[in-house]
Structure 1
Amino acid sequence: MADTIDTNTLPASTPAPEAGPGTHTAAVREDEARQAPAPMDAAVDEAAAAAPADYSGLALPEGYRVDDPVFGEAIKLFEGEKIAPDTAQRLIDFTIERDKQIARAVNEHATTSWTKQTAEWRTTSEKEFSPEALGNARTALARVFDRQTIATLESLGFTNHPGLIRGMVKVANAIRDDSFVGGNAGRGGGAMDPKSLYPNSQHN
């Protein structure tokens, strides 16, 4: 007859087996693995990340200089913020294009404003001066200035300025009033007779 196990005689709980030498060794190896140095590839990546970025290859458009103080300040900003060179190049391109657009807008506005101003000058001058006065002013302008200066004044619209026209009208009047009328003095080979200069004088 087979033996039977009396469950009443078994202990209430079976104690866990004690950790043997093998278990202790495995725990030590796991701890050493955590403290082991990182692989070579990871160390190289960290060193590359810590090294300063090389911005020597950044390209600038024609007309911009690398030794410009503004560009130097930009490089300092890139270095301080650890911006990658390719990102820095995109920032440079964006900034320069934006500045060009702003400059074009400013120039267009200035040109439009100046064209409007010179048109107003011309309208005012045509109302203030007669065609004859305008013609005299142009004649005086040619007497006072050389062709290159007149061309510059015309290109800028200053020949329509009422103040310039007013001044040239005065010059034209002064030239007309001071015109020299030649006489018959000095004929013959002898000395000039002072009486000929003052024919109406009572002292002759």
Structure 2
Amino acid sequence: MTLIERLIYRRLQSADAGNDAGGAGGGDPVPVQADAATGTEAGVEGVKPAGEEKHTGDTPNPDKPADGEKTPEQLAEEQKLADKAKAESVPEKYEFKSPVEGQELDADMAAALDPVARELGLNNEQAQKLVDIYGKDILPKLEARQAENWAKQTEAWANEVKTDKEIGGDGFVSNVGLAQKALDQFAPAGLRDYLESTGLGNHPDLVRFCVKVGKAMSEDTIVMSNTGGQRSQADILYGNK
């Protein structure tokens, strides 16, 4: 059935209903008009034009944060409280203790740690934990590594002396004896102990120097043609004329 036929059919039905109700005081039938644009009939209760939707709920507000999010004002207030708590937790002066019992606290380390702990907002107990970690874990490892590297260096010096063309090779043993003779004669006991404990006694230049001194000491006397006298070992060593 076309739209026109459907409208005529309904109009006839309305007319019949009006005639039936005429004796009961009924009025004129309600005219039915068609909306050509939407295909709906005006005057029919409950009929909505096509495309018209019923909106429910609140319109979204782009300025309102989503559920669980905080407003900029709330974030600013929380940051303000955090800064205040941080300032109150930092002492005017940190009181650090040595992490190793019986060992004096490294003053340079404490001075370097103070501004770092202050920047992080640490209280004295938290800052002390950093001191303990450095003193018990980090520092011993650094010292062990330095000692290992120094041992490798002194060993390399000793090998260099053994292979040196001037003081090493076949003459190594005798030259070491001359160097030791010079140290025993002129070096104080404290210096000899220091050179031995630190490994500096293996330094090639020091060994060469001591070998030369030892050779000069091995010369019993030197006759001076202009004086007819003799030079002592001290004169030979220090170049006195």
TM-score normalized with structure 1 length = 0.49
Q: Which has the higher contact order (CA 8 A, sep 6+)?
A: 1
Structure whose CA Rg is larger: 2
More helix by percentage: 1
TM-score normalized with structure 2 length = 0.42
